[in-house]
Amino acid sequence: LKQDSLNVDCAHLMQNALAGNRRALAKLLTIVENDEADGQIVLAQLFSHTGQAHIVGITGSPGSGKSTLVNSMVRELRKNDVKVAVVAVDPTSPFSGGALLGDRLRMRDLATDSGVFIRSMASRGDPGGVAHTTRGVVNVLDAVGFPIILVETVGAGQAQVEVAQVTHTVVLVEAPGMGDDIQALKAGMMEIADIVVVNKSDKPEAQRTVQAIRSVLMLHEQRMADEMNDVSPETINSHKAWSIPVLMTSAINGQGIPNLLKVMGEHQKYLLDSGLWQVVQRRHVRAEIEAWLQRKIQAWLQTQLGKQSLEAAVGLVLTGEQSPVSAAQDLFNKVIAGTKKI
Ligand SMILES: Nc1nc2c(ncn2[C@@H]2O[C@H](COP(=O)(O)OP(=O)(O)OP(=O)(O)O)[C@@H](O)[C@H]2O)c(=O)[nH]1
Ligand SMILES: [Mg+2]
């Protein structure tokens, strides 16, 4: 990826985006999302500017109030003059189109605020998963200087869990009533949560939900203790494990939002002080390299194989001469042997 191989338009977009131009930023993100050759060069060139932002995932049960909460958080951050970017990920459900539109309307008065940038992302069956495309978008937003990036998952699905592969801090949002059978918690969401929020605390059952979640959490406290094993002793300044706080918010009237932001800041500080920040960064970079490698190998394999040899193998399987696994092994051997046109 040569520096000068970026076309002139793209280089201008990048300069303008780095200078704070929002339209240029939006166009740049489209290039990165579409994953064309230019997108890869943009990411390569911007990478040295990344690593500054606190990236926070907002995930949890559908309808628990994530979007309302994000809206409320953005307002509070802007009151304190903190710039913030929001990425809404994976609107694949047939309902989320409407939900997203609703989100946009709610955020309408924020659209003219140059300290806020909101981006909705469609999942497009990326072989590297939702996380891969999201990471590209987040990296660009980090590079252009947003100190906080909120990554909101929409509805239920894989994006909920994958958000942890892109973020430093995961906020799991639950709502009263939903917590009674604590489905989300059982489905492993607790494994990725750093902060649990019981939203809609204006509802009377909220306190009971908080209690139910606290008791489930006791069983998961081991997680951070295990994670500490990945950190070399000399980088650990504090051995105190993070104990997952359960907070109450009412996103519709802004209650508990300043406290949530405060606790997010405390989690960031905890990661930095304990050396876990580097562990997380390392994990992100490793996942990113792996995703690119996977994609490049897949593309290379396709050019090596060609459509005909694959179809020929299908034919052999259908006539009973080979099994799928032996056909795959044969193709693999031929590719490895360096056969150009099989
Ligand atoms: N009573 C009450 N209602 C809330 C609160 N926060 C959100 N809601 C309502 O809950 C509903 C769902 O809110 P959303 O913010 O769209 O929830 P979401 O989690 O983003 O939903 P999906 O994106 O579809 O998963 C809306 O009708 C909100 O007005 C709250 O604090 N209290
Ligand atoms: Mg939403």
pLDDT at 238 (0 to 100): 47
- Ligand 2 centroid–CA 190 distance in Å is 20
Rounded distance from Cα 200 to ligand 2 centre (Å)? 14
List residues near ligand 1 (CB under 6 A).
62-68, 99, 154-155, 199-200, 202-203, 250-252
Cα–Cα distance measured from residue 267 to residue 54, given in angstroms and rounded to the nearest whole number: 10
Low-confidence ranges of the chain (pLDDT < 50): 93-99, 101-102, 237-238
pLDDT of residue 107: 61
Separation of alpha carbons 31 and 44, rounded Å:
13
The Cα–Cα gap between 205 and 183 comes to: 17
**pTM for this predicted structure:** 0.85
Where does residue 21 rank: exposed (0-12), middle (13-18), buried (19+ CB within 10 A)? Answer: middle
From ligand 2's centre to the CA of 39, what distance in Å? 28
Mutate to test the pocket of ligand 1, among 58, 61, 67 (most ligand atoms within 8 A of CB): 67
Q: What is the pLDDT of residue 182?
A: 59
Q: In which residue are the tokens 């994000």 written?
A: 70
Among protein residues, the one with the nearest Cα to ligand 1's atom 1 is: 200
- Closest residue CA from atom 23 of ligand 1: 154
Going from the Cα of 100 to the center of ligand 1, the distance in angstroms, rounded, reads 12
Element (H, E) at 299: helix 276-318
d(C-alpha 205, C-alpha 212), whole Å:
11
* Cα–Cα distance for residue pair 304/338, rounded to 1 Å: 9
Report the atom number in ligand 1 closest to the C-alpha of 71. Answer: 15
- For position 42, what pLDDT does the model report? 93
